């Protein structure tokens, strides 16, 4: 059974289809791993083994009867706990939504289920997706499976940790400023942020509406493409949803093994100020790409340094507005207080953690009548200039390549001191969200303290095929994505 861990989703799908493996066995295998290892990793906020096994048996029964099933029928998955589901609580790792059960399913959850994926549970995250370490979860701190004293990154902390530890082969996560790509880098897994609009946001608890995008965290680019065929459907419930695309995997099958003719743009300055071990891994990866035929060209983002404050203005303003609905009236936490204004302000004081409160206060300030023009609107105008920089870069190259973080996963508590330090983790990732186009992190080696290093590719709007192709060809030439961390079971290394 242990060789299951080495198989892609497509290979597992083939085994299921040939009835060489039952869905029940596959689901039971992952449930067993969760039971053994999640006690220390703390990746899951909610697990429902019984329902998952029951669904697996149903799928096995249908298959036994000769029913034609979708190719992903019976495969396991898990969801970041901001994707609402009517069969499990959705908490956003907050006290505000503790125990909250949505009256409907997110489109992504619905599409996954209709394609036959079986959800193992909901994954921990930074509270309301605000953070880069996972530490702002109200419930628990997920650890990095490569070193339990280190953060897994954030905000998709549970997702990256669970996929790295093989407690699920795929986690559906979200990326607002790097929340898929950065933890994927910290945990040595593959994380795709599709183009804005590619995956429906309906049923995804909003952080910043013009930046949020769902995507998969997996163990390979191939698996990411496999899942995207299910996630990439147009959704009439999301006004910003793009037309359906369901040929990610088929196109990847024709990828070949050469990067000849592919121009990879390396942004000016992206290799300076990196941790030396991480830098060496990224440089080696760039050399590997060249060996595969790619041409590395220099590209320039003159406004890169402005990206972070622009991101902060936009993300926090939108967040302050999106999180206003948590007022205690319709659902979620409510302080039992007899005066309305007090009810609101105590409910929200109690329901939100400090990071969330800070961002709401900042976002509210930015949107004040007197500040709106100077901060929010100005940020949105600079955002258009950043888009122009991307457009110019994509005239010189096909994809942009570089590191996804300046250092490897840091120790718990290390960066909770200054407000600015934490935000610096977003430095390499936020520009892409501002532009709205797609990007992917793939593992490219190990750096300081033998911790994983991620390589980030960025593509143009709706250019997922080209992005996945290059990342796949690079990944196929390495075995970084096949490395599995040694996990602690009852304190014993396995």
Give the 3-state DSSP-derived string for the chain, with helices as H, strands as E and coil as C: CHHHHHCCHHHHHHHHHCCCCCHHHHHHHHHHHHHHHHHHHCCEEEECHHHHHHHHHHHHHHHHCCCCCCCCCCCEEEEECCECCCCCCCCCCCCCCCCCCCCCCCHHHHHHHHCCCEEEEEECCCHHHCCCCCCCCCCCCCCECCECCECCCCCCHHHHHHHHCCCCCEEEEEECCCCCHHHHHHHCCEEEECCCCCCCCCCECCCCCCCCEEEEEECCHHHHHHHHHHHCCCCCCCCCCCCCCCCHHHHHHCCCCCCCCCEEEEECCCCCCCCHHHHHHHHHHHHHHHHCCCEEEEECCCCHHHHHHHHHHHHHHHHHHHHHHCCCCCCCCCCCCCCHHHHHHHHHHHHCCHHHHHHHHHHHHHCCCCCCHHHHHHHHHHHHHHHHHHHHHHHHCCEEEEECCCCCCCECCCCCCCHHHHHHCCCCCHHHHHHCCCEEEEEEEECHHHCEEEEEEECCCCCHHHHHHHHHHHHHCCCHHHCCCCCEECCEEC
Instruction: Report if residue 199 touches other proteins, rule: CB under 8 A.
Output: no
In the region spanning residues 14 to 73, those forming contacts with other proteins, defined by CB under 8 A, are: none
Residue of the chain from 12, 320, 444, 487 that contacts other proteins (CB under 8 A): 320
Instruction: Report if residue 362 touches other proteins, rule: CB under 8 A.
Output: yes
Shortest approach of other proteins to residue 101 CB, angstroms?
7
Query: Catalytic residue positions?
Result: 80, 155, 179
Residue of the chain from 327, 414, 448, 449 that contacts other proteins (CB under 8 A): 327
Selected range binding other proteins among 13-21, 50-58, 136-144, 358-366, rule: CB under 8 A: 358-366
Instruction: Report if residue 358 touches other proteins, rule: CB under 8 A.
Output: yes
Give the nearer residue to other proteins in terms of CB position, either 345 or 476. Answer: 345
Instruction: Report if residue 334 touches other proteins, rule: CB under 8 A.
Output: yes
Instruction: Report if residue 239 touches other proteins, rule: CB under 8 A.
Output: yes
Residue of the chain from 20, 50, 338, 490 that contacts other proteins (CB under 8 A): 338
Selected range binding other proteins among 45-53, 165-173, 260-268, 316-324, rule: CB under 8 A: 316-324
In the region spanning residues 375 to 414, those forming contacts with other proteins, defined by CB under 8 A, are: 375-385, 387
Shortest approach of other proteins to residue 332 CB, angstroms?
7
Shortest approach of other proteins to residue 293 CB, angstroms?
31
In the region spanning residues 206 to 235, those forming contacts with other proteins, defined by CB under 8 A, are: 206, 208-210
In the region spanning residues 283 to 312, those forming contacts with other proteins, defined by CB under 8 A, are: 303, 305-306, 308-310, 312
């Amino acid at each position: 059974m242990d060789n299951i861990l080495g198989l892609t989703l497509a290979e597992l799908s083939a085994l299921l289809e040939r009835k060489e493996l039952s869905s029940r066995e596959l689901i039971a295998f992952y449930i067993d791993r969760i039971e053994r290892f999640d006690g220390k990793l703390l990746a899951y906020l909610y697990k429902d083994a019984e329902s998952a096994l029951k669904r697996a048996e149903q799928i096995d029964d249908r298959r036994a009867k000769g029913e034609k099933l979708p190719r992903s029928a019976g495969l396991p998955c898990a969801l970041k706990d901001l994707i609402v589901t009517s069969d499990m609580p959705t908490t956003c790792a907050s006290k505000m939504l503790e125990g909250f059960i949505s009256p409907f399913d997110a489109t992504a959850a619905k599409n996954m289920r209709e394609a036959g994926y079986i959800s193992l549970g909901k994954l921990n995250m930074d509270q309301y997706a605000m953070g880069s370490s996972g530490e702002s979860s109200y419930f628990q701190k997920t650890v990095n499976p490569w070193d339990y004293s280190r953060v897994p990154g954030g905000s998709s902390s549970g997702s990256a940790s669970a996929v790295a530890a093989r407690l699920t082969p795929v986690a559906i996560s979200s990326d607002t400023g790097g929340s898929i790509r950065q933890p994927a880098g910290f945990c040595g897994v593959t994380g795709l942020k599709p183009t804005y609009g590619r995956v429906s946001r309906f049923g995804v608890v909003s952080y910043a509406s013009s930046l949020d995008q769902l995507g998969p965290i997996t163990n390979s680019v191939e698996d990411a493409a496999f899942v995207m065929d299910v996630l990439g459907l147009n959704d009439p419930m999301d006004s910003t949803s793009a037309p359906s695309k369901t040929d990610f995997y088929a196109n990847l099958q024709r990828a070949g093994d050469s990067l000849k003719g592919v121009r990879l743009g390396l942004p000016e300055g992206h290799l300076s100020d990196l941790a030396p071990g991480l830098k060496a891994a990224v440089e080696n990866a760039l050399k590997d790409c060249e060996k595969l035929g790619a041409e590395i060209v220099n590209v320039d983002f003159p406004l890169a340094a402005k990206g972070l404050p622009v991101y902060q203005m936009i993300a926090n303003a939108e967040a302050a507005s999106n999180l206003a609905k948590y007022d205690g009236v319709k659902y979620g936490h409510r302080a039992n207080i007899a005066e309305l204004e007090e009810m609101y302000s105590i409910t929200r004081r109690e329901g939100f953690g400090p990071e969330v409160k800070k961002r709401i206060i900042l976002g509210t300030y930015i949107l004040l009548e007197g500040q709106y023009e100077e901060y929010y609107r100005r940020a949105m105008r600079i955002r258009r200039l950043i888009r122009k920089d991307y457009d110019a870069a994509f005239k010189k190259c096909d994809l942009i390549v570089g590191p996804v973080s300046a250092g490897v996963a840091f120790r718990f508590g290390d960066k909770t001191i200054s407000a600015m330090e934490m935000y610096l983790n977003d430095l390499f990732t936020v520009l892409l969200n501002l532009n709205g186009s797609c990007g992917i992190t793939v593992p490219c080696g190990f750096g300081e303290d033998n911790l994983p290093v991620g390589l980030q590719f960025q593509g143009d709007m709706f250019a997922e095929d080209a992005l996945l192709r290059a990342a796949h060809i690079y990944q196929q030439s390495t075995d970084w994505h096949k490395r599995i961390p040694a996990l602690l079971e009852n304190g014993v290394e396995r």
